[in-house]
Structures are given as C-alpha cells and as structure tokens.
Chain A
Amino acid sequence: MKNQLKELSNPKKFQSPIDISDVDVDVLMLMLESMVTIRKTEQQLALGRKNALIGGPVHLGAGQEAIAVGVSQYLQCTDRVFGAHRSHSHLLALNPDFYRLFAEVLGKKTGFSKGMGGSMHLFDQPSGFYGSVPIVAGTVSLAVGAAMAAKLQKTSNIGVVYIGDGAVEEGVVHESFNLAKIQNAPMLFVIENNLFASHMHISLRQPSDMISRFAEANDIPYELVDGNDVVAVSQAAKRLVGDIRSGKGPRLLELVTYRFYGHVDWRDDVDVGVERSLDDIENWKARDPIVRLSKSMTESRYLSKHQESALNQRLDKEIDKAWNRAMSDPYPSADATLKYVYSEEK
C-alpha cells in the first residue's frame, strides 16, 4: 500500500496540544463541551451494551469526536446532513440531546426516531440531521440528491454526508462523486478515515491509504487534515462550506483519525482486528482530540482545572439522569409496527 497520508496516519505524531490561537475562547469552550458530551454519552452506551441493557449493536466513535464537532461549526439547521452506521457524534454535534439518543438506542417511544430505529437509524430533521443508516455508503447518493434539491429550491443550503474509508470501496460512492460534480451540487463529502473497515486495516483493502485521491479523480477540490485536531477540522470545514454555499460545487474533506473501541460494541477488537494492536490503540489515545484541546486551553489559561472538573461533573450528572429517565420510558405502542409502513393508509 502507498502511504500517501504520511505522518497523518502515524499515531506517534500529532500528539502535542493544538494551535488555538485564531479561535475565540467561547467557541473553544463550546467545542470542548460538545466533544466531552459525545464522549461521555458513548461511554454510557458502551456500558449499557456491556451490561446487556441495550439489545442491539452500537457502533461507537469515541476518539473521532473532533470531526463532527469541527464540521458542525459551520452548518445550519436548514442544511441536510446524512450519517452512516457510526453516527451518534454526527447527530449530537447538531443537537446535544443525549436523553433522546439514549431513549432511541433503548428502543423507547421518546427517542429521536420514536423508538423505531435504534442506534443505526437516527433522525432529527429540525436540527438538519436527515438520517443515518447502517448500509455502508447507503446515504451518499441521498445526500447528493438533497444537495441537488437545495439548488433547485434556490437556497444556499448544502448536503453533507459522513462516510468512512471503507465506504469508498462501494461503487455508488464513485457514481455519487461524479453526479455531484457534473450537477455542480452544493455538497460536502466528509471522509472519516479511521484506517479500518470493521476488522480490516486499509492496507489490506486499498492500494493507497489516502481517500482524497478519488476527489482528484473527479476534479472535486478537497482538504486533507488531522481529524483529531478540532480547530484544524473546523477551519478546513469553514473554507469548504464557504465555497459550497457560494455555488462553487462539491467539496471533499478527509480527516485522519482512529476509533478507540472496536467496530461494534464496547470491546477493543485487538483479537479480531487485522493489524489492530493494543500498542496502536494506546498511541492513538495519546492523540485524543479532547485531551489535546483541553491541554491547549489550559496552557493558554482559557480553562482552569476547576472549570474542567466542573464541566465533567455536571455532564456526568446530567447523563446519569438522562439514562435513568430513558430506561423508565415506554416502548412504542403495539400498533407501531404496521402504523409507519406508509405515510397514510386508507
């Protein structure tokens, strides 16, 4: 495999604090809180799954929070954001209502998808989150269509899709790149390159580790950024989203990252993962996007130890409360299975 990502894929690099000099302290605080919220929510889900309180699979993205949080800084609730199987962060970065996420994952009526979707089928259109599905690459063409619609509707809204490095092995992604380009669709493709598809390292699946090569092939301008640096992600997103909104057509943003958990549920997956080792996981944990941001903020005296622990304590308490509330919520009514098949049946 060609290592075109160079040092970006080396877990021993990029471990130092990040450059926050161009960003307002208020914005940094919001991004930090958003990332910590997502991390803690997923830790609660990992625990709930381990204790068999959650019946279905959960694909956790701990370690990748900087991506959704950075990208979402420049999205509006009228944009059309589509996720995939690992999408808790994509939704929470737009709407941090972890109570409704817990309820959904537990299959409760009060969840984002009324308890009909679970972890893998999330919906919150009022915040711009159009939906997520676990069919790899299943939403890519949908997002392009929603972007084409934005253009036909003469708005400056954009389509956004989050996919992983594995998704580009599906043919429909290449059809979608081509269609978006030829239609000049206002579309942002976000590639979370965490180097793994399920258990398989990218070197066993592709001749190069750099997904942006497909943007080049379709004449789509792109940026390739450290996905564990929330400021770098958000600044790249700002440039690309700005271009898209001004009618310049599709853009692609590739973010290099790593997931701390295995492909699904709470385990490490070092025993089933091909080329996934405990050493790698430890090294990548030293590149933790939350730690790097909070260190930078502490060094710049934007964040005191006291503030940080207060934030953690508050979120722990709220998450605990939300989890218990969701646990005691009702399931969908018995007629729900037939009720939602069609929009209306006469």
Chain B
Amino acid sequence: MTIEKHNYGTAILSAFEYLLENYPEVFVIGQGLWSPWYVGNTMTDLEKNFGVDRVIDTPVSESACTGAAVGASLAGMKPIVVHPRMDFMLYAMDAIVNQAAKWSHMLGGQAHPGVTIRSIINRGGEQGAQHSQALHAWFAHVPGLRVVMPSTVADARDLLIASVLCKDPVIYIDDRWLYDQEDELIPIVELDLTIQRPVISLMGGDITIVASGHASLLAREAAEKLENKDISVEVIDVRVLNPFHAEEIVESVKKTKNLLVVDSGWTSGGFSAEIITKVVEQLPVDCLSNPPTRIALPDAPAPTSRFLEKDYYISSDDIVKKVINLIK
C-alpha cells in the first residue's frame, strides 16, 4: 500500500485529480481557477492537466456560475463550483437555497441537483469584514443541502470526493487556516457521504469538546495542552453539519458529563446552539455536571486591524482557559 504525504491543500488537489481522472461527468467552474492567487495549492495545474473545458475560469458572476452548475447537475453532470471566498458566494444564494436545495423535494424526488459547492473561508491578515465570514450555520439551516466541513487532511480529500459523488447538493467548506496540517494518507477509498457521522478525534473522560472545521483543529490543540494539566478531553469532529446526527456526541457526553462547543461562526443563532440543543434534548435531566457552554465569535463583523483581530478570533488558549474554569 502506497502511503502519500499530503498537507490539507494537496489533499484537496488530489481529490480533484481523482475525480477529473475517473469521472468524465465531473467539471469544475469558478473564479480564479487558472490563477495561483485564489485557491492556494489546492487546484494547481488542473486546467493544464484536464483542459480548460473541464476546469472553467469564469466571468465575475457568482450567481450565474452557481446556477449553471446546478443546471448542469440536473442534466447528468457532477459539477464542482468553487467560491474562493464565502463572502462573494452570497450573490449565489438563490441558486443555492431556492434552487439546489429545493428541486428534489418540490418535484417529488425526480430531480437531483448533485452539485458540489466548494466555499473557502479565508480570513485574518487584516482582511476585514467582507473577506472573513464563516456562514456554515446558514447553510446547515436549509433542508435539502448537505453541509460538510472537513477539519483533517484525510477528510479534506475523502469528503470532497464523497460530496461530488453524492446525488444531493453539497456545500463543502474548507478553511485556509487548516492548510498547513500534514498527514500521511492511504490510497483513496470512495466514501458514501450519506452515512458519514461525527467522529471522535481524541478520546478522553473529563469533558467533551465538539467542533467542526478550523475550530476542530483548535480543539485538538487545546486537548493536548489540557492533557499536561491532567484534564482528559474527548474531541468530537462534526464533519457533516447537515443533516446533523448527534448520537455519537450524546454518548460521549453521557460519559464525560461536560459539554463545550467551539465554533468559528458567530455566537448568536450559530451552529453551536444546534449542537447543544440536540445533545441536551437527548440527555437524562441530571446527566450534566456543569451547564453546557460554547465558544464562538463575538456578535460583530470581523474587525480589520490586527490589534482587534487578535481578540476577535478564537485561539486554543481560549479553549484551555474555558475548560479549566468550567471543570476545576
């Protein structure tokens, strides 16, 4: 078995290569695909290796390009739309929410918009309020969309492939702050997205921390720091936010009796609320040792200056502090 060394970015690239190589109905469309600026190392040379007909750099038209991908999927293709920043994708909300999410249901299960919409969270570095947003909770609110947030190198590759092979519309969200992670990957095995569930990334007994995407990486880092302080953390990576299944988390919390949710979106109305609610609904009343709690972004747009950014974004030390205050 060949083990390949990858970082998160090259893992995504290898998924694209696998899909374009093996599935003639796959094509990719979005802005910046022929440029090294927009998508890091995740799509290098795809247009050279697979042709500009299948790797399409587009006019500045998020709405039409996303709609076109939805339409192509209705006609038997497996398109991937790439939005190098989630903020710009807001122009495409009709195609995503009114069209892709609804066509199966409102046409009696006869139409399948099997489109994958890759949306990149790209923030920090004094980019400010419109180059920073993490809106996964919005999309997870919409029935009909599957929402995927890979936090590991392996998931970055394998869940992208699973998303594209799935018959339903999928919002696949990767975060540029995850790209430096490295791992050794086994050869590709195709996964069925519909049976993917949250996974336990680290086992522990004192508290359950649940997170997705970049917050999941922070949770893993915090868990290592807390181990040195003799606090044993169980980290659960959500992976698939919609449809969201909480059974694994409920079982973990029954064991640890403490729940902290970390989320890279805003606090109010965010996905952290959904996780806590779904878990608490299924727990015996007297199960928890402490009230469930969360760390998410302050309810404010991202500030620009690095001085303000430092406090705005979550660090693994914030998680460490919160856990110590909660259970010590």
Contact = CB atoms under 8 A, between A and B. Distances in A.
Given A130-B75, A152-B54, A116 B107 contact: yes
Contacts of B70: 141-142, 145
A298 to B, nearest CB: 41
Contact of A133 (B58, B64, B98, B146): B98
Interface in B266-301: none
Given A113-B106, A121-B107, A141 B72 contact: no
A341 to B, nearest CB: 5
Contacts of A178: 59, 61, 64
Interface string B63-75: 1111111111111
B27 interface: yes
Contacts of B111: 123, 125, 130-131
A341 B105 contact: yes
Contacts of A114: 107-110
Contacts of B53: 152
B141 interface: no
Nearest to B106: A121
A345 interface: yes
B104 A142 contact: no
A166 interface: no
B60 to A, nearest CB: 9
Given A141-B68, A143-B71, A342-B194, A113 B107 contact: yes
A144 B104 contact: no
A150 B68 CA distance: 12
A175 B166 CA distance: 28
Contact of B63 (A117, A130, A141, A150): A141
Contact of A171 (B63, B114, B143, B194): B63
A343 B76 CA distance: 14
Given A139-B99, A141-B65, A146-B71, 16 more contacts: A82-B71, A113-B106, A116-B107, A121-B107, A130-B75, A130-B111, A141-B66, A141-B70, A142-B70, A144-B64, A171-B63, A172-B67, A178-B59, A179-B65, A183-B56, A342-B146
A115 interface: yes
B139 interface: no
B215 to A, nearest CB: 26
Contacts of B39: none
Given A114-B110, A130-B74, A138-B98, A175 B64 contact: yes
A80 B106 CA distance: 18
Interface of B: 27, 53-54, 56, 58-59, 61, 63-77, 79, 94-95, 98-99, 102-112, 114, 143-144, 146, 166-168, 192, 194-195, 243
Given A142-B70, A148-B68, A149-B76, A340 B108 contact: yes
Contact of B243 (A113, A116, A150, A342): A342
A228 B58 CA distance: 38
A239 interface: no
B143 A341 contact: yes
14 contacts: A113-B106, A116-B109, A117-B107, A123-B107, A131-B111, A135-B99, A142-B71, A144-B68, A145-B75, A152-B27, A178-B59, A179-B64, A342-B194, A346-B192
Contacts of A138: 67, 94, 98-99
**Range of interface residues on chain A?**
35 or more
A141 B102 CA distance: 16
Task: For the complex of A and B, list the 5 residue pairs with the smallest distance between their C-beta atoms, beginning with the closest.
Answer: A141-B67, A114-B108, A145-B71, A145-B68, A142-B71
A131 B100 CA distance: 12
Name which of B69, B79, B107, B143 has the most chain A CB atoms within 10 A of its CB: B107
A343 B67 contact: no
A296 interface: no
A341 B144 contact: yes
A175 B63 contact: yes
A153 B76 CA distance: 9
Contacts of A22: none
Contacts of A147: 71
Contacts of B105: 116, 340-341
B63 to A, nearest CB: 5
Interface in A149-172: 149-150, 152-153, 159, 171-172
Interface string A106-132: 000001011111000101010000110
A130 B74 CA distance: 8
Nearest to B167: A343
Interface string A314-346: 000000000000000000100010011111111
A179 B72 contact: no
A142 B168 contact: no
Contact of A148 (B72, B108, B109): B72
Contacts of B69: 145
Given A130-B75, A149-B76, A125 B68 contact: no
Name which of A121, A141, A152, A340 has the most chain B CB atoms within 10 A of its CB: A141
B156 to A, nearest CB: 23
B75 A150 contact: yes
A149 B75 contact: yes
A96 B151 CA distance: 51
A103 to B, nearest CB: 11
A60 interface: no
